[in-house]
Amino acid sequence: MGKYSGFKNCIFYKLTPWRSALILTLLIATILYGLAVCRPLPDSKGKIIEADLKCYQTIVEKIHAGESYYSAAGHTLRKMGYTTASVFNWRLPALAWFLGHLPSLKTGQILAFILALTTLLLWMVVFHKHNYQAWQVFLGGLIMAGPVIYSLIPGPFLAHEFWAGTLIALSLAAYALGWRYISVISGLIALFLRELSLPFVVVMMTLSCLEGRRKETLIWLAGIAVFGVELFIHWSIVSSLITANDKVLRGGWIVFGGWPFVLTTAQMHPFLLISPSWVTAIILPPALLGLAGWRGASGIRIASTVGIYVLAFLIVGRSFNIYWGLMYALVMPLGLLHLPYVLRKLRQPFQRSFTDG
C-alpha cells in the first residue's frame, strides 16, 4: 500500500487527459471556494461546546449520585435552556449511564485515553503491515493521535461524538487488519452510544453485503435491529416526559449549510481546530481526493465513511452542531497519505500525451 500497488483497481487508473484536467480543476476550484467562504470559529461556538460538555458532566454526576438518567437529563437540559421538545436533543442513555456508574469522572477519562491509544496503536500496525513509507507512518501517526489528544483534555471524553468517532476509527483500523468481528463490535458500540453513527454502520453493512460476506452482513443487520429497539424505547420514554412548556428548536436541523458548514465540522480534528480556518479549506479537498484514490476493501470503507458524512453535513446540521464533525474528522486527513500517488496518476495522461505528441 505504501507504493500503492492496487492502483489497477483505482478510479484514477487509465484516465484521459481531459478527465485528469477536470478533476484537478475541481480540486483547485473547491479549495478556492473554501478559502472564500471559510470563517474563523467564533468564540460563541466554543462557549456552546463548553456548555454542552458541562451539561453532560452534570448529568453524569447526577447519575453517579443515584439519580436515573432520564430524570437527570430532563432536569439538567431544562435548567440550562436546551430545546427539550425534540427527542433528538435527549442523548441516548448508554454513555451517561456507563460514565455515571464508574468510580469517578477521572476513571472515564482514563478509559477514553486507553481507547484512543489503542486506536492509534492499531493504525500504526496498519501502516506497518501495509508497508507505508516513513513519511506516511509519521504523518499518519500524527493524524491518528487526534483522539489521544482529546482524551488528555478534561471535558471532550464526556461527548458522545468523541466516543463514537474514536470507535469508528478503531473499527476501520480493525477491518484493515482483517479483524472483522472486532470491527463490527466497535462499530455497533458506536451506534449504541450515538445515533449519528448509523451512516457508518450502513456503509459497512452495505459493503460487506456487496462483497458477499453474508455472516458479517447479518451481524451488522442484527446490530441495527437492536439499535432500533433501543431507539424506540428511548423515543417512547422521552416522548412521555416532554411537556407543553419545553422549548422547540425552530427551523429544525435540515438547513443546507453547504460547504461552509462542512468546513467547520472538518475542523474538529484537534490539529485543525487550533489552526486558522483557511488551513482546513486547503486540506479538506486534497484529503478527499486522496481518499477517493485509496483502493482495497479498507480504503473503500474509509472513503465511503468520510464521503457519506460530508454529503450529509452539506444538508443537515446547525452552526452549533460543529462537533458532529468528530464522526469523521479524526480519519479524514488520512487521505493525505495517498494524495501523492493520486496526483501522480492524474499527471500521467499529460505525460503520455506529451510523449505521443
Predicted local distance difference test score (pLDDT) of residue 43? 67
Q: Are 190 and 155 in contact (CB under 8 A)?
A: no
Question: Which among 96, 91, 94 is positioned nearest to 57, based on CA atoms?
Answer: 96
Instruction: Find the range with the poorest average confidence among 85-89, 119-123, 259-263, 276-280.
Output: 85-89
The mean pLDDT value for 199-218 works out to 96
Minimum mean pLDDT range among 241-255, 266-280, 309-323: 241-255
Question: Can you list the pairs that 19-26 forms with residues at least 24 positions away whose Cβ atoms lie under 8 Å?
Answer: 19/349, 20/346, 20/347, 20/348, 20/349, 20/350, 23/289, 23/346, 24/346
* Three-state SS at 93: coil
Query: Regarding predicted confidence, which is higher, 319 or 106?
Result: 106
Q: Which residues pair with 254 in a beta bridge?
A: 316
* Res 3 pLDDT > 60: no
- What element of type H or E holds 212? none
Say whether pLDDT at 4 is over 50.
no
Q: Whole-angstrom Cα distance, residue 307 to residue 327?
A: 12
Least confident of 73-77, 144-148, 244-248: 244-248
CA distances from 194 to 8, 91, 142, 148, 223 (A): 37, 7, 26, 20, 13
pLDDT, average across residues 61-73: 96
Residue 332 CA to residue 316 CA, distance in Å, equals 19
* The amino acid at 230: E
Here the contacts of 349-355 (C-beta below 8 Å, separation 24 or greater) are 349/15, 349/16, 349/17, 349/19, 349/20, 350/17, 350/20, 352/17, 353/17
The pair phi, psi for residue 298, each rounded to 5°, is: -70, -40
Q: Is the dihedral of CA 97, 102, 107, 111 positive or negative?
A: negative
Percentage of residues of the chain with pLDDT beyond 90:
78
- Contact by Cβ (8 Å): 304, 207: yes
| Arithmetic mean of pLDDT, 89-106 | 96
For residue 88, the model assigns a pLDDT of: 87
Q: What is the pLDDT of residue 290?
A: 95
Q: What is the pLDDT of residue 16?
A: 82
Question: Has this prediction a pTM greater than 0.75?
Answer: yes
Q: Are 263 and 282 in contact (CB under 8 A)?
A: no
3-state secondary structure of 268: coil
- What is the Cα–Cα distance from 229 to 58, expressed in whole angstroms? 27
- The pLDDT confidence band at residue 7, using thresholds 50, 70 and 90, is very low
Name the residue with cell 437492536: 226
What confidence category does residue 251 fall into, taking pLDDT thresholds of 50, 70 and 90? confident
| In contact, 94 and 131? CB cutoff 8 Å | no
Q: For the beta carbon of residue 131, count every other beta carbon within 10 angstroms.
A: 12
Average pLDDT, the chain: 92
Q: Quickly state the pLDDT bin for 80 (edges 50, 70, 90).
A: very high
| Nearby residues of 90 by Cβ (< 8 Å), 6 or more positions away | 70, 73, 74, 77, 84, 234, 238
> Please, which pLDDT band fits residue 78 given cuts at 50, 70 and 90?
very high
Query: Which residues are 316's β-sheet partners?
Result: 254
Handedness of CA 321, 327, 332, 333 (dihedral sign): positive
The band of 240, judged by pLDDT with boundaries at 50, 70 and 90, is very high
Q: Which of 6-10, 38-42, 191-195 ranks highest by mean pLDDT?
A: 191-195
Residue 196 CB contacts under 8 Å (≥ 6 apart), including other chains: 161, 164, 324, 327
Residue 48 has pLDDT above 80, yes or no: no
Amino acid of residue 221? L
The model's confidence at residue 8, banded by pLDDT at 50, 70 and 90, is: very low
% of the chain surpassing 70 pLDDT = 93
DSSP conformation letters of 289-302? HHHHT--SHHHHHH
